[in-house]
Amino acid sequence: MHLTLAYLLAAGAGVLIAHYISRAPDLRSMRLSQLVFVPSAMVLCVYFAASGDMAGFISFLVVLIFLVLLLAPNIAYHCGAALSNFLDPQDWTPAEEEIALRPIQLLVDKGNYRQALAELDALLKKHIPTYEAVLIKARLLHHIGRVDETVAALLSLIALSNSTAQQLAVMEMIAFLEENQQDPPNPPTSGTRRLQIHHELVLFQTTDETSPLHKEIAPGIYEVEEIVYRKRRWLKLAGEDWGNAQMCWEAILASHRPPAQPPKKGLFWQIARMHQTITTAIRGKPRRQSRVEAQKLLKEASQLIGRDDWQKALPLLEKASAGDPDCYEIAYRWAQAVRHTANDAATAEVVSRVLQQSQWTGSEQHMLQQLKRPLSE
């Protein structure tokens, strides 16, 4: 009877320890496996300790060492965080936590634009900005008439864009706002200069005012020269007819991607990876990882759509929508791809599925419903 009670107390203590020590957001991926292994190890420790012989003692030490190794990443994390917080107390709100935009969109639907902007600004101070969040901010700023701040927000979107389509949308909005500003640019400076950009940038043909041609250049070092194009100062590639507004180049120059982290090694990292592997096998991929993979698929699909290859883009968009069902851009593109490659019945079915997979705003639902109309209309 007493031994059974000891087992129950050990298992309960193991659950509490595993829950408490994995409470930090950075450790949540290890919680599920630790909730299984820690109580089991605690019960085995009691069992071997109660045996009273040398074999039981050795087994007790082995299980105890296993338990320490099991919790070593958590202990190291909490010790490091405690020391850092002691030396420099800060607000430890995780910056990479997903921004909850649904309440902001509901405020926008109700017409509470200033309240939505205030709450969105508060969220952006605590979290890493995302393309979707800053785009909503730019629209709110434009709606209440703060044009200069709208342009600044749109320029920051260039570095946050994940596809050519997103950059083109930003360029179109900037061009629309710039039409209202009639200040003539200063004469361009002669000669070339070298610029290093840290993000992809869309360039346009500068030989024809009405040319829709564009291309995307990768991060790197480029020789550029100044010109006046569309009554604005532009920078184009030296010796070529591809360029973009100077402010867009400067927006890329102002954005510096953090240096790539060196690959993690060591015992603690291997233990943490073991926990994550077990958790992924049971619960599937973490939401953040699924969203990152979905954005990569969207970028690949956007390149295919740019070549009018909807057939190859369709499976990529379907997979991306399954990974991130709440992303409106992915959902809309998927339904659009079905519309270009299948009949009206298949399009209507996919649109219905998309409408049910997330809580879209009224305007988003309207745009999705429009896809049910035949292409011939």
Question: Which is more confident, 284 or 341?
Answer: 341
- Would you state the structure tokens that stand for residue 232, as one six-digit string? 């604005």
Least confident interval from 150-154, 201-205, 301-305: 301-305
pLDDT at res. 375:
57
Contacts of 302 (CB under 8 A, 6+ apart): 163, 164, 165, 313, 333
pLDDT at res. 14:
86
- Would you state the structure tokens that stand for residue 307, as one six-digit string? 């070549």
Question: Which is more confident, 237 or 262?
Answer: 237
pLDDT band with cut points at 50, 70 and 90 for residue 188 = confident
For residues 307-329, average pLDDT: 87
Which domains, from first to last, does the chain contain? Answer: 2-87 (no CATH), 286-370 (1.25.40.10)
Q: 264-282, pLDDT tens digit by residue?
A: 556 656 666 666 676 666 6
For residues 226-241, average pLDDT: 87
Among 152, 136, 218, 228, which Cα is nearest to 190's? 228
Q: 126-168, pLDDT tens digit by residue?
A: 888 888 889 999 989 988 888 889 989 999 999 888 878 788 8
pLDDT at res. 165:
79
Q: 26-84, pLDDT tens digit by residue?
A: 677 777 788 888 888 888 888 888 887 888 888 889 888 888 888 888 888 888 777 76
DSSP state of 376: T
- Would you state the structure tokens that stand for residue 24, as one six-digit string? 């930090």
For residues 238-255, average pLDDT: 85
Q: 204-221, pLDDT tens digit by residue?
A: 888 866 556 788 888 888
pLDDT at res. 263:
52
Task: Render the burial of 117-134: b for 16+ CB within 10 Å, e for the rest.
Answer: beebeebeeebebbbbbb
DSSP state of 109: H
pLDDT at res. 224:
92
Give the whole-angstrom CA distance, residue 76 versus residue 90: 19
Contact 247, 253 (CB under 8 A): no
Q: 77-136, pLDDT tens digit by residue?
A: 888 777 766 665 554 455 455 677 878 888 888 888 899 899 999 888 888 888 888 999
State yes or no: pLDDT of 253 exceeds 70. yes
Give the whole-angstrom CA distance, residue 185 versus residue 65: 71
Among 30, 156, 25, 186, which Cα is nearest to 96's? 25
Give the whole-angstrom CA distance, residue 134 versus residue 121: 9
Sequential DSSP letters for 331-375: HHHHHHHHHHHS-HHHHHHHHHHHHHHS---HHHHHHHHHTTS-T
pLDDT at res. 2:
64
pLDDT at res. 92:
47
For residues 170-197, average pLDDT: 77
Q: 2-31, pLDDT tens digit by residue?
A: 678 888 888 888 888 888 888 776 677 777
